[in-house]
Structure 1
Amino acid sequence: MSNTINKSRVLMAVTALISTMVLSMNANAEVSYKDTFADTKSRISIVDEQGQINLPEDYALQGFVHLGSNTVTRPDDGVLQNINSAYTQADALIEFNKTGVWPDGTVIIKDIRFVSENMSLLSGEVQHQTSRDIAFVMVKDSTMRFYQSEHKQLWDSSWGWAQYDNPEQPLTNTNKNAEYCQGCHLPQKANDWLHLEIYHRIKLPSLPASPKLKAQSKRANPTPVIKLVEIEPGSDLTKVADDKSE
């Protein structure tokens, strides 16, 4: 009887230990925007104390969620060049979709990959991602906490900007200043510098129609004008309608 009890206790202890390990692994795998600037070594080090921005290695295995992907073709012949994919923390995406504002600590990773040659599969002609061409990271910070840091040039009043284009040091930031990256984002400055419409996981905020669009709508659908026509008794209605339409 005692042996049965001891075996049950051992089994319960082993089960509890395994559950604790699984929970611990899951906790370490899930990244949060709240931890980006936290003083802890148990989380991924994305931004150091001097404002340098690091590309998380194997970020897809560390809890970042896929926002969406888009393709880039050569402008002269339309040949596919890259497949671009973007990722962020799950809780940052949830917060933005609720409020329309990216919380401080949001990390957005854009991974740009080369594509393969055409492959003939049963589903059709297929191309897939291959090696990395370049990667970018944006880190949300509206407090300007790195205003006087060693790497202050990477930060503006809302984001930190980094790029990684050295194949020999793929995790090292090669960007020198925020303005360099902002050049491509300038058309979306009013949307917190982000092309929101190309990522299917992002819920676009409801924006009022611009005056130009309203004017175009009015021209395309003019308000009908109703005219009252006095008709004398015994008049030919067909002839009256023809006369008034001229």
Structure 2
Amino acid sequence: MKTALYLSGTAMLAAAAVIFAHATPVAAEGAANAMVRPDGSIVMTKENYARDWSVLGVFAHLDDAGVRQFNVVYTQPETVTAYQQTGEFPEGAVLIKELRDGVTKADGDDRTSSLGALKGWFAMIKPPKENGPQGPLWGDGWGWAKFNADAPNATITTNYEQDCLGCHMPVKATDWVHIEAYPMLRD
């Protein structure tokens, strides 16, 4: 005997919302857990973030010749959804800032800049509120790390307070994240 369960449209949406709400943090935590070693050190994600994650925004660092460096910032889609719903980054959220050379060239009467060689990454990981990793890479609600492109398993960050907070101090009020540069989070 076969049994079928039929739900009204409203009931299906409600059930999906409950399932999604409970699944979101678990999905987000997978990438974070894979990046954190038992000693609290951080390695670069092995996930194909450029293909599978959401682009939050792009920063361009300029000099007289054009764009010197592009920073392309990614996070998991479930992190975007959670932030849009709550205004907070969930446990397990990972922000990856990919650092790329800027390539500027003449383009008719104009100059254009495009993404060049990969130079490295910055990573921020939102740990659990209780019993999260400890050490000099962890504090102020995040794990912090920078990697060179040729050494993704060896962070060059030694102390987040000295190595990271200088650039993040202006955005302390937004959980240390440059929300102003990420339209999908601020709008």
Q: What TM-score results when the alignment is normalised by the length of structure 2?
A: 0.75
SS of equivalent to 2:186: coil
The one-letter code matched in structure 1 to 2:120 is I
Could you tell me which runs of 5 or more consecutive residues in structure 1 were left unpaired when the two chains were aligned: 1-30, 39-44, 205-246
- Does residue 189 of the first structure (1) align with residue 176 of the second (2)? no
Matches within 5 A, 1:37-186: 45-57=34-46, 58-61=48-51, 63-74=52-63, 77=64, 79-120=66-107, 125-141=111-127, 142-143=129-130, 145-147=132-134, 152-165=135-148, 167-179=149-161, 180-186=163-169
Q: What is the CA deviation profile of residues 179-231 of structure 1, one whole-angstrom value per residue up to 9, with x for unaligned ones?
A: 11111101111110011011122135xxxxxxxxxxxxxxxxxxxxxxxxxxx
Q: What is the CA deviation profile of residues 116-156 of structure 1, one whole-angstrom value per residue up to 9, with x for unaligned ones?
A: 130427x9532211112331000002335123xxxx11000
Distance 2:157 2:85 in 1: 32
Counterpart for residue 28 of structure 2: 33
Change (3 A) 1:144 1:131: farther
Distance 2:96 2:32 in 1: 17
Q: What TM-score results when the alignment is normalised by the length of structure 1?
A: 0.58
Distance 2:111 2:44 in 1: 33
Could you tell me which runs of 5 or more consecutive residues in structure 2 were left unpaired when the two chains were aligned: 1-25
Distance 1:157 1:138 in 2: 11
The one-letter code matched in structure 2 to 1:190 is A
Contact 2:146/2:157 (<8 A) preserved: yes
What's the RMSD between the two structures over aligned residues? 2.3
Distance 1:115 1:140 in 2: 29
Identity of aligned residues (%): 28
Distance apart, 1:79 and its partner CA: 3.1
Taking CA–CA contacts closer than 8 Å with sequence separation of 6 or more, which of the two structures ends up with the larger relative contact order? Answer: 2
Change (3 A) 1:154 1:144: farther
Distance apart, 1:56 and its partner CA: 1.8
The one-letter code matched in structure 2 to 1:85 is V
